[in-house]
């Protein structure tokens, strides 16, 4: 069943009572054809099961991580997570291929050189280690695969 959308329907979508969020694209700024033919149909597509499992795993495992934060502070957990990603080596010496590949999972870093990734790790995680710790923790947590999150939790909690 194909529905045709007109400008009035899009305006109804745009004028919701939700407060604007900086991370959400303002639909009014996009051409109407893009909204109707590309964005709205995508919202009705079923998402891949592997993506849904990853999202569920992220949320469930992050709740476990928050329980771990009751015993440790965020900076300690972030250091454990960085060492886990870097094959148990402090990344001040080098960025191991495992850590590099983890960072490459982010779309912004998928085509970056090893040197660029190394510079990112040093500047983002080491130069400003005490700032935005929660954001850094969530960023790295989101790049891990579900099995990697589970292994990290098992190694951190049960050892």
What is the per-residue pLDDT for 4? 44
Q: What does the alpha-carbon distance between residue 95 and residue 98 come to, in Å, rounded to a whole number? A: 8
User: For residue range 40-77, what is the model confidence (pLDDT) as tens digits?
Assistant: 888 888 889 999 999 999 999 998 888 877 777 888 88
Q: What does the alpha-carbon distance between residue 131 and residue 129 come to, in Å, rounded to a whole number? A: 6
Across 12-21, 42-51, 68-77, 123-132, the highest mean pLDDT is recorded for 42-51
Pair 125, 136: CB distance under 8 Å:
yes
Q: Indicate if the pLDDT at residue 14 is higher than 70.
A: no
DSSP class of residue 29?
G
Q: Write out the two tokens for 32.
A: 């109407």
Pair 86, 140: CB distance under 8 Å:
no
Whole-structure pTM over 0.75, yes or no?
Answer: no
């Amino acid at each position: 069943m194909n529905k045709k959308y007109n400008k009035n329907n899009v305006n109804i979508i745009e004028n919701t009572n939700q407060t604007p969020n900086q991370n959400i694209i303002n639909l009014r700024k996009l051409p109407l054809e893009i909204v109707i033919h590309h964005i709205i149909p995508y919202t009705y597509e079923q998402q891949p099961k592997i993506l849904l499992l990853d999202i569920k795993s992220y949320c469930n495992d992050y709740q476990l991580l928050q329980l771990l934060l009751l015993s440790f502070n965020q900076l300690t957990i972030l250091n454990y997570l960085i060492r886990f990603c870097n094959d148990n080596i402090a990344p001040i010496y080098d960025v191991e291929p495992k850590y590099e590949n983890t960072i490459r999972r982010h779309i912004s870093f998928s085509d970056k050189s090893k040197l660029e990734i190394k510079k990112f790790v040093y500047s983002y995680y080491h130069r400003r280690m005490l700032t935005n710790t929660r954001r850094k923790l969530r960023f790295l947590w989101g790049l891990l695969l579900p099995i990697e999150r589970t292994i990290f939790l098992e190694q951190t909690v049960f050892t």
